[in-house]
Chain A
Amino acid sequence: MSWIDGVRARLRFLLRRSTLERELEEELAFHIARETERNQSLGMEPSAAARAARVSLGVAERFREEVRDEWAGVFAGLWQDVRHGVRRLRRRPGFAAVALITLGLGIGANTAIFSLVRSILLEPLPYVEPDRLVMFWTARADPRQDTWLSARELLEYRQATVSFEELAAYTQSNANLVEGEPERVRAAAVTANIFAVLGTPALHGRTFTPKEDWPGEDGVVLLGHGVWQRHFGGAPDVVGRQIRVNGITRTVVGIMPPDFLLPLDYREERPTELWIPAAIDASQNLPWGSRSYYIIGRLARGVTVEQATADLGRAHAEWARAGVLGDGAGELDRAAVPMNTLLLGGVRPALWILFGAAAVLLLIACANVMHLLLARSHARRREIAAQLALGAGRTRIARQLLVESGLLGVLGAALGVVIAHAALRTALVLTPVNLIRMRGVELDLQVLAFAALLALAATLAAGLAPALRLSGLNVAGVMAASRGDVASMRRGARRLLVVSEIALSLVLVLGAALLARSFAELRRIDLGFEPRGVLTLRVQLPGTDYPDQERAGHFYRELVDRVATLPRVDAAGAVRVLPLSGTIGDWSLTIEHRTAPGATPAADWQIVTPGYLETLRLERTSGRFLTAADDEDGPMAAVINETMAARYWPGQDALGKRFHLGTLDQPWIEVVGIVRDVRRNAVVEDPRAEMYLPHAQFVRAKDGGSPQLGMTLVVRADGDPLSLLPLVREQVRALDSDLPISDVRTLDAVTAAALAQPRFTTVLLGAFAALALVLAATGLYGVISFVTARRTHEIGVRIALGAEKGAVTRLIMRDGLTMAATGVAIGLLGCVWLTRLLAGQLYSVVPLDPWAFAAAPAILLATAAIASYVPARRAAGLDPMTALRED
């Protein structure tokens, strides 16, 4: 079979290349020997005979290549081109380095952002059919805010709605675990069906059964993978064991897989690692208003989010008509919010913007590499014309050039992956907590494939034009032409490249300027407290050891007193929820003598010890702060914020007025002080009504129940607050040796975390803009240098005819600045339209911010001036004689 012979021969060639090369050499040597012999027999001198033999073979090198071409077809030729390309790149290390770094940065930035986009936006949430999962958020806020619902509402929604296959709920808390080293872990009380609703089975053992949802049957617990490993060394026989959680003995029924997160864990630093049944007692007449649950719904098949929201609205309207919700019903309207929007809503636009910015950066990088290749191809045109004249095929030449740029692409991609790897590590440090999924961000095959694709695209984009141009060279034209003619041919394209580079850079610089402005505005926001120099740490008392106010009150009073007298400590106190570290929630109130209609009064409830307000340096506008006299037996007192005062006692002095918690017969509380508002839930929010109740009086204020067990200690000190930690820890130990402390941070870190997302976006876009600026400057510099070099002759004439150095410098610089100005003008036009995309990311800065629109062009023009000044100076310094002799 002849084709099989052929294939076999080809394979043999590919596999045994070097052998064949050697054979070819030997065969040719044999040929020359025989030819020489023959020539001698015809009467030639030996040396002449040998020479003639060699001549008869033609130029040995070319001959060999033809024989090889006969064989190798595309592959071997390609290999040869690659080696050729490597040699060329090595011969010009400067060119290679600039091109590689440019491509590497472009590809690296894109690869890094792509891996973020992929793992955060493109990969589905790790639940079964996450598209069918929703949470109930308040319908009255835009953007919608999370909200707590009561157990009663959960049960009622189950009855009143038809859009859901199932509703589950959970409430977040903390648990002290004393197996081994005492540790405080995040825990959640969940309805038994929550694991089924989310679609995650247990790793070992089982999840909860419906029976365990009932009070009395709920002595069970599920362990998180982390807890299992840390406290039980991953022993499988933990399932079935009894452990004490918050002082209560529970049986471990299962271990959850390591990646299982409750929905809102995505915005927390630490995930939930312990689950206990919520044990909602449906047989009781549960109150409507006791809200502490997040509700998760799995939509019935075919039901849309809008239909579900309408369903919720209908149920709400019914209850409002029936009057079960009280007169604040309007605020309790709920909407179904898709899990995806809820978890990623804030991040998504920011990431897409960064992705777009990275793409722009890559375009600039490609333009720059194209420049470099064009400049190189110009320098090589004579060489290539010579190759063409000697009979090299045009496709072969084009291929050779493309291979060379492909080589740049491949090496650039490799460098890009390295850069992306480093960039991701940096990004992980900067990342906002709600990008927690970045824990799973890796440079895997998919990401590498993306980088390879970029490299290919970049190679084609940057290399095709020069390759086509050169392979299509008119041989005679090039050989005959003086330099000037050819240069002018190419100048148009190169100018176009520079102008677009500058326009693109302007877009990035302007975007970064807008974000920077906005971030500066965010930083300028008066938080209402002084975050510098404060140590914070969380303590959670177990309810079993501290069942009543006497015990809990004593503990916190003692702790604060002891810590406040430590050396270097200025002030200390404790608070239920630190500002900017979580949603605080509100409590409905009754205001004395209030007749105004409308929503039920409510205020965010803060529980503090004396010393807290002073430690955070809240500003008092009237009245007093809380003191040790506001204790369990003292008259009921509260400090409120200005917003609360203005809302419930408009036009009056709120000082001395009274209110009480809830709508029943709780004891009256007197307003003893008014403080300025602080930013509570987020840096950017409308101020909310807030009250500060003394820890000692909380149980009385709500008329019974358990004391506030979890508090965050705040300590203001000279010097580094964290260095106080050992001393503070000692005090906690002295009071209760089993008590773990957690969340040790400075208040500065807490507030910084609250700005993590805008910081993330700003820093990244800023970095992209800076890179773009450098690339555009390099591009401009390159073109000006190139054009100037082409004009050496002309400049020499000018100088010889008496042009001043200044005039020459101006001439060249005008060229560069004209290009820059054109690019800036085009870029500005684009920005007018593009900056609108940033609107959602801006705080107190409009997309058409005049400051940014002035600064960005100024930055670019200044950069352009510098980039063209250097070659202009060089041109002005030309020696006319040398210049004229050139060419």
Chain B
Amino acid sequence: MPDTNAQVLPGTLDMLVLKVVSVRPEHGWGVGQRLREASHGAFDVNQGSLYPALQRLMKHGWVKSEWRDSERGRRARYYRITRSGAARLAQERASWSRQVEAVSRVLEWAY
């Protein structure tokens, strides 16, 4: 495993999870996999944070879950984004972009 394994930046996990389930419904394990793949292995999300994050999102009503058969034929819980979740994601995304932009500007700043 690459040494570059990193923690997800604090405060961004919810946004990332929302993004993953917005593409298509995923089960918990799958969310972890997608995050790892999408970040090219940079984010190896601790499962102890992932499930609470999913529950948190559900609690807010941003994702909802349903049980169906997984690709292996075993029953699994799939999470899917809701309409308010999508709105939330857009919002988070916008604010994230602003921050990244701002941070970049500072870093590239020179006399």
Contact = CB atoms under 8 A, between A and B. Distances in A.
Interface of A: 1-6, 8-10, 13, 23, 26-28, 30-31, 33-35, 37-38, 56-58, 62-63, 66-67, 70-71
A13 B55 CA distance: 11
26 contacts: A1-B84, A2-B61, A5-B60, A5-B82, A5-B84, A6-B60, A6-B61, A8-B61, A9-B59, A10-B59, A13-B59, A27-B28, A30-B74, A31-B28, A34-B29, A34-B72, A35-B47, A37-B72, A38-B33, A57-B47, A58-B46, A66-B48, A67-B51, A67-B55, A70-B52, A71-B59
Interface string B76-100: 1100001010011000000000000
Contacts of A31: 28-29, 47, 51
B29 A30 contact: yes
Given A1-B84, A9-B60, A67-B52, 12 more contacts: A6-B60, A6-B61, A9-B59, A23-B67, A27-B27, A27-B28, A30-B27, A30-B28, A30-B75, A57-B47, A66-B48, A67-B55
Contacts of A63: 47-48, 51
Main secondary structure, interface of A, reads helix
A38 B88 CA distance: 32
B62 interface: yes
B60 A2 contact: yes
Contacts of B47: 31, 35, 56-58, 63
Contacts of B62: 2, 5
B5 to A, nearest CB: 13
A38 B75 CA distance: 18
B88 to A, nearest CB: 7
Interface size class of B (residues with CB under 8 A): 20 to 34
Interface of B: 27-29, 33, 46-48, 51-52, 55-56, 58-62, 67, 70, 72, 74-77, 82, 84, 87-88
Given A2-B88, A58-B47, A30 B77 contact: yes
Contacts of A23: 67, 77
A70 B56 contact: yes
A9 B29 contact: no
B57 to A, nearest CB: 10
Contacts of B55: 67, 70-71
A871 to B, nearest CB: 48
A2 B84 contact: yes
Contact of A70 (B59, B67, B75): B59
Contacts of A57: 47-48
A450 B5 CA distance: 61
A33 B27 CA distance: 13
A10 B56 CA distance: 11
Contacts of A27: 27-28, 51, 76-77
Query: Counting chain B CB atoms within 10 Å of each CB, which of A6, A9, A33, A58 scores highest?
Result: A9
Contacts of B27: 27, 30
Nearest to A4: B61
A35 B76 CA distance: 14
B58 A9 contact: yes
B14 to A, nearest CB: 12
Contacts of A8: 61
A410 B47 CA distance: 40
Contacts of A6: 59-61
A607 B82 CA distance: 99
B31 to A, nearest CB: 10
B92 to A, nearest CB: 13
Nearest to A5: B61
| Leading 9 A-B pairs by shortest Cβ distance | A5-B61, A2-B84, A58-B48, A34-B29, A70-B55, A6-B61, A31-B29, A70-B52, A30-B76
A71 B54 CA distance: 11
A67 B48 CA distance: 9
Contacts of B33: 38
A27 B32 CA distance: 14
A33 B82 CA distance: 28
A3 B82 CA distance: 13
A204 to B, nearest CB: 64
Nearest to B51: A67
A3 B60 CA distance: 7
A23 B88 CA distance: 26
A66 B52 CA distance: 7
Contacts of A5: 60-62, 82, 84
A520 to B, nearest CB: 71
Contacts of B56: 70
A33 B61 contact: no
Contacts of B82: 5
A57 B51 CA distance: 10
A5 B75 CA distance: 25
Contacts of B29: 30-31, 34-35
Contacts of B74: 30, 33
Contacts of B52: 66-67, 70
Contacts of A4: 61
Contacts of A1: 84
A4 B62 CA distance: 11
A23 B76 CA distance: 9
A71 B59 CA distance: 7
A835 to B, nearest CB: 62
Contacts of A66: 48, 52
Contacts of A56: 47
Query: Counting chain B CB atoms within 10 Å of each CB, which of A2, A38, A66, A71 scores highest?
Result: A2
Nearest to A42: B1
A206 B87 CA distance: 76
Nearest to A33: B74
A40 to B, nearest CB: 13
B53 to A, nearest CB: 9
A26 B67 CA distance: 10
A392 to B, nearest CB: 16
A386 to B, nearest CB: 20
Contact of A26 (B61, B75, B84): B75
A824 B49 CA distance: 60
A338 to B, nearest CB: 63
A62 B51 CA distance: 12
A3 B52 CA distance: 19
A2 B58 CA distance: 11
A360 B22 CA distance: 65
A2 B62 CA distance: 7
Query: Counting chain B CB atoms within 10 Å of each CB, which of A13, A23, A30, A57 scores highest?
Result: A30
Contacts of A34: 29, 72
A34 B62 CA distance: 25
B78 to A, nearest CB: 10
A81 B27 CA distance: 31
A18 to B, nearest CB: 16
Contacts of A13: 59
A20 to B, nearest CB: 9
Nearest to A10: B59
A347 to B, nearest CB: 59
Contacts of B28: 27, 30-31
